[in-house]
A and B are shown apart, each in its own frame.
Chain A
Amino acid sequence: MASTDQGVTSPTRARITERTLRQDRWWLQPLTTFVVFSAFVVYATVRAFMGRDYYASPYLSPFYSPCLGDCVEGASDFGQPFAWWPLSAALIILIFPLGFRMTCYYYRKAYYRAFWLSPPACGVAEPHQSYSGESKLPLVLQNVHRYFWYAAVLVGLVLTFDVVLAFRPMPAEYAVGDGETSGIHMGLGTLLMILNVAFIWLYTLSCHSCRHIVGGRLRHFSQHPVRYRLWTWVSRLNTSHGKWAWYSLFSVAIVDLYIFLLATGTIQDVRFF
């Protein structure tokens, strides 16, 4: 797999045949990324195409929110403009979070390394003969990331609304004790959704495009004190952007799984009040 005489073994370089002399377990990180991302993609694909078990009142799965297709009763808080859509309602909106993450600077780094091995790790020769990075089609399209960010802010607002709705009383069949169903309610589902939306916001607001938009694009911080302040806040979040990317990936999957288990009747919601 060593890259040919184009790279570290090309004629002018110090003659060393190994593609890397690293002795640490440099393959561990790309391998982990590969396994976890693949698992998520498989899970998300299955769930997105399923088209059922995404709503367990009052909880709506983030994969299906907003539910704009021919959704089950109670799931569509923004109407059903796509009621004619024959496939799963998740497929209508999933392009936005999917596009956002696919063009994310952090995810790009992670999947270029883990899936495309370009490079698999620092100082480890990549297997490709030629390379043009993000300078040509299709990868030059990564530059649309900021538009997905705008969409992601809207998605974040919708998911926040879902959390508010998750405090609604549950329908009678879920009632505990003496059958009381009125007033507000909070269950494990609500808690999971709060955590999820927190991670989603941390991820969305720590985005590099966000950092640029709020103030990074300026050349005179001194003349824009408010934007400068915003920029310093986003910059602080931005240092952990990769962490928020992972946390929010897990939290989305966990919330969806929890709702799936509720909707299929496999488990009962743990109710706090």
Chain B
Amino acid sequence: MSYTLKLRIWRGDRDGGEIQDFPVEVSDGEVVLDAIHRVQATQAGDLAVRWNCKAGKCGSCSAEVNGRPRLMCMCRLSDFEQDETITVTPMRTFPVIRDLVTDVSFNYEKAKQLPAASLGPRDADGKRRMAQVDVERGQEFRKCIECFLCQDVCHVVRDHEDNKEAFAGPRFFLRYAELDMHPLDTHDRRELAQGAAGLGMCNITKCCTEVCPEGIRITDNAIIPMKERVVDKKFDPLVWLGSKIGLRTKDDEGRVEV
């Protein structure tokens, strides 16, 4: 069954813009991206929108639907009432380029600042080994599709442009945590996470977790564990003492600070 959707889209560029009405014919079972495409095909041929897979796997179609960061291709129209107005805007944390397309290079800059894994020497037979439980631990983090919705919703940068310099954001805290838990990595990134990446600025209010389309429990499984690891290194005198007098496990051995 088809009906006319009351769709509103933000149109404009760096110099200004506004939310405009685009009533459009849609049918049950369609997603917001389908409606946007129909507007593009029938009413506004020059509407700028980024997309690729239409399957929630490429992370290109990130935008905000009724003020909430969503993948447009995974946002079903059936989740809304048929007479409800749906407002689509670009992500409001990144500089806008045109219409629904934003410049997400902030995230690539942050990625560059994160030291890659540095693996230790190989075993005698030339292989590297990791036990299954240790492999499994990081799998959740590897589901990330880099849609940057978590970066978009995070109030640390969303509401404070001046924090962008000092804050890497939840997507990269995932990466810090994954590497810090990695048994073969030889870097110790705890100081870096707290210092250059601004982990301490996160106040664990969990919006990143709320919006992640992959359902990664960013705050509980990456950010908080990483904060606790930083405490081990920087704020817990007992852990420090324990490691000096050899009471700690040798679990951390062989890591060098970066």
Interface of A with B (CB < 8 Å)?
A: 3, 6-8, 10, 12-16, 18, 20-24, 105, 108-109, 112-113, 118-119, 122-126, 128, 130-136, 139-140, 143-144, 146, 208-209, 211-212, 216-224, 228, 238-239
Contact = CB atoms under 8 A, between A and B. Distances in A.
A16 B94 CA distance: 13
Contacts of A10: 161
B66 A23 contact: yes
B23 interface: no
Interface string B159-175: 11111000000000000
B16 A15 contact: yes
B68 to A, nearest CB: 6
Interface of B: 10, 12, 14, 16-19, 64, 66-69, 87, 89-90, 92-96, 102, 131-134, 137, 153, 155-156, 158-163, 180-183, 198, 200-207, 210-211, 220, 224-225, 227-232, 234-236, 249, 251-252
A219 B182 contact: yes
Contact of A6 (B137, B159, B198, B224): B159
B132 to A, nearest CB: 8
A75 to B, nearest CB: 33
Interface centre among B10, B92, B198 (most CB of A within 10 A): B92
Contacts of A130: 160, 162
Q: Top 6 A-B pairs ranked by shortest CB distance?
A: A222-B131, A135-B200, A21-B67, A133-B201, A22-B67, A12-B95
Contacts of B131: 220-222
Given A122-B207, A219-B252, A22 B225 contact: no
A219 B161 CA distance: 35
B78 to A, nearest CB: 17
Contact of A208 (B155, B182, B201, B224): B224
B228 A209 contact: yes
25 contacts: A6-B159, A8-B158, A15-B17, A18-B67, A24-B66, A105-B224, A108-B204, A112-B204, A112-B205, A118-B155, A119-B155, A123-B68, A123-B207, A131-B156, A131-B160, A131-B201, A133-B198, A143-B236, A144-B235, A146-B236, A208-B220, A208-B225, A209-B228, A220-B134, A220-B183
Contacts of B92: 8, 13-14, 16
From B17, B161, B232, residue with most partner A Cβ within 10 Å: B161
Interface of A is mostly: loop
A228 B93 CA distance: 39
Contacts of A140: 200, 235
A243 B19 CA distance: 40
Contacts of B205: 109, 112-113, 118-119
Nearest to B200: A135
A21 B64 contact: yes
A252 B218 CA distance: 31
A135 B224 contact: no
Nearest to B137: A221
Contacts of A134: 200-203
